[in-house]
Amino acid sequence: MKKVPNHVAIMMDGNGRWAVEKGKPRSAGHYAGMLAVRRTVEAAVQLGISNLTLYAFSSENWKRPKQEVDYIMHLPSIFYKTEIKALNKAGVRVEFFGDLQALPLKTLAVIKKTMQETIHNNTLILRIALNYGSKDEIINGIKELVQANSQGIQEYEELRQFFWTKEMPDVDVMIRTSGEQRLSNFLLMQAANARLVFIKAYWPDFERDMLSDAITNN
Ligand code: FPP
């Protein structure tokens, strides 16, 4: 039997198309996407994955219609209300990462609450990227590094200490749903050696078996 990867990252793509094909508003696709997050977290715990990272909102996603952006920014609050009990029961620690200071204050408050209330869990670390872009993370890290250490650095490991994701282990398997085969500025350095898995299904239709296949079939 193959070893379970330590860190699986997922680009949750296709919520909009899923909704449009069903004649529903795009927000219905994002809500269904949140339910898929719930199922995937449960599956990851069962499969023994220790680190699961999800791309929820990129720094480019602000260009979407305001109504859609507002809905996605409200999702962490729905997520908190509906999931916090189950997350704590399953031992899931939740961390949000990205340029968090630029988020609406209500969103920031609820993600902080979610992080604080799960901080002692250690079965699985669920990391959710919100307002994240890999190039932004690298530039921001370099700016901070220059301020902290004008002598410069020799190795990538030293630069990594200035990333929003400095605690995150490298990605072993990177999954993208909906048939798209692009990296879209997600964890470019952290996934430098990751195995890439592209799945045709839209994110709201993502199921346990797809995760299980992705981590076992090479
Ligand atoms: C990509 O599909 C998906 C998003 C931009 C939003 C993802 C958010 C969730 C799945 C919910 C996250 C849950 C929490 C807890 C914050 P798309 O809209 O780009 O789909 P399309 O390519 O078909 O238009």
Domains of the chain plus CATH, in order, are 7-134+172-216 (3.40.1180.10)
Report the nearest atom of ligand 1 relative to the CA of 78: 15
> What is the rounded average pLDDT of the residues 21-47?
98
Annotated ligand binding at 184? The verdict is yes
> What does the pLDDT look like over 38-48, one tens digit per residue?
999 999 999 99
Q: Is residue 157 pLDDT above 90, yes or no?
A: yes
Q: Is residue 217 pLDDT above 90, yes or no?
A: no
The dihedral sign for the CA sequence 147, 169, 131, 45:
negative
176 close to ligand 1 (CB < 6 Angstrom):
no
Catalytic center residues:
13, 61
Spatial separation of the C-alpha atoms in residues 111 and 95, rounded to whole Å: 8
Q: What is the pLDDT of residue 166?
A: 96
159 within 8 A of 142, measured Cβ to Cβ? yes
User: pLDDT tier at 1 (50, 70, 90 boundaries)?
Assistant: low
Mean of the per-residue pLDDT values of the chain: 96
> What does the pLDDT look like over 161-193, one tens digit per residue?
999 999 999 999 999 999 999 999 999 999 999
**CA of residue 153 to ligand 1 center, whole Å:** 37
**CA of residue 202 to ligand 1 center, whole Å:** 10
Does the pTM exceed 0.75? yes
Q: What is the pLDDT of residue 78?
A: 98
User: pLDDT tier at 149 (50, 70, 90 boundaries)?
Assistant: confident
Q: What is the pLDDT of residue 153?
A: 84
> What does the pLDDT look like over 102-134, one tens digit per residue?
999 999 999 999 999 999 999 999 999 999 999
